């Protein structure tokens, strides 16, 4: 009877979830996720810069131009945010203090890489998109060194 009352009272209250780990204990990480998104950012930036304005008063041509440009911008925005997410997950969840001892530049590298993701959203800059890829290449190198594996860097878009 008393237990039933307690049960009713408890089950009438809202419940939230507390993570006793942040991403599940799978331990699967790979900078390739960030690299793929950063490659998309580079390609979209290039496509935006290469897109030709119709230069006529034709309404259909204008609509098509704006539609294409908007899609390119939306994809660049989305992929830069995903790249940032994957970079931050590696930074916060994979790398540990012992890695920082061996690679003292680690925090600066990740901080600059996350900031580059934001720059790539704000701007239409091939230089920053390339710099983002270069930084992720450096993260790739350090990441696989900590794993004791020799994994070659490659780009899917080339």
Partner 1 sequence: MNDLRAANFIEIILLYFGFRSRYRVENNSMFPALRSGEQVIIKKSAKLKVGDIVIARHPYKKSVEIIKRIKEIDEGGKYFLIGDNKDESSDSRTFGAVSIEYIKGKVISRLSNYDIGKV
Interaction mask 92-121, partner 1, x per CB under 8 A:
xx-xxx------------------------
* One-character DSSP codes across 87-153: HHHIIIII--HHHHHH-TTHHHHHHHHHHHHHHHHH---HHHHHHHHHHHHHHHHHHHHHTT-----
Q: How far is the CB of 151 from partner 1 (least distance, A)?
A: 22
In the list 14, 55, 104, 148, the residue contacting partner 1 (rule: CB under 8 A) is 14
* Residue with Cβ nearer partner 1 (43 or 109): 109
Query: Which among 1-9, 49-57, 123-131, 136-144 is the span making contact with partner 1, rule CB under 8 A?
Result: 1-9
Q: Closest separation between CB of residue 5 and partner 1, Å? A: 9
- Point out which span in 7-15, 46-54, 119-127, 133-141 binds partner 1 (CB under 8 A): 7-15
Q: 12 vs 59, which CB is nearer to partner 1?
A: 12
Q: Which of residues 25-44 bind partner 1 (CB under 8 A)?
A: 25
> How many other CB atoms are found less than 10 A from the CB of residue 83?
28
Report if residue 148 touches partner 1, rule: CB under 8 A.
no
Let me know: does 153 contact 140? Beta carbons within 8 Å: yes
Q: What span, in angstroms and rounded, lies between the C-alpha atoms of 21 and 156? A: 32
Q: Longest Cα pair distance anywhere in the chain, in angstroms?
A: 81
Q: Which residues contact 23 (CB under 8 A, 6 or more apart)?
A: 89, 93
Residue with tokens 């209250």: 13
Q: Which residues bind partner 1 (CB under 8 A)?
A: 3, 6-7, 9-25, 88, 92-93, 95-97
């Amino acid at each position: 009877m008393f237990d039933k009352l307690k049960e009713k009272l408890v089950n009438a209250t809202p419940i939230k979830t507390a993570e006793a780990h942040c991403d599940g204990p799978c331990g699967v990480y790979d900078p390739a996720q960030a690299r793929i998104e950063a490659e998309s950012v580079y390609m979209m930036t290039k496509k935006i810069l290469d897109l030709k304005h119709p230069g006529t008063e034709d309404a259909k041509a204008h609509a098509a131009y704006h539609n294409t440009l908007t899609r390119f911008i939306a994809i660049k925005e989305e992929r830069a945010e995903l790249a940032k997410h994957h970079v931050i997950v590696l930074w916060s969840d994979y790398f540990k203090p012992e890695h920082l001892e061996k690679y003292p530049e680690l925090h600066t590298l990740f901080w600059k890489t996350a900031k580059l993701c934001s720059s790539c959203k704000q701007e239409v800059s091939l230089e920053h998109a390339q710099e983002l890829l270069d930084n992720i290449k450096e993260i790739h190198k350090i990441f696989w060194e900590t794993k004791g594996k020799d994994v070659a860097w490659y780009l899917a878009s080339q």
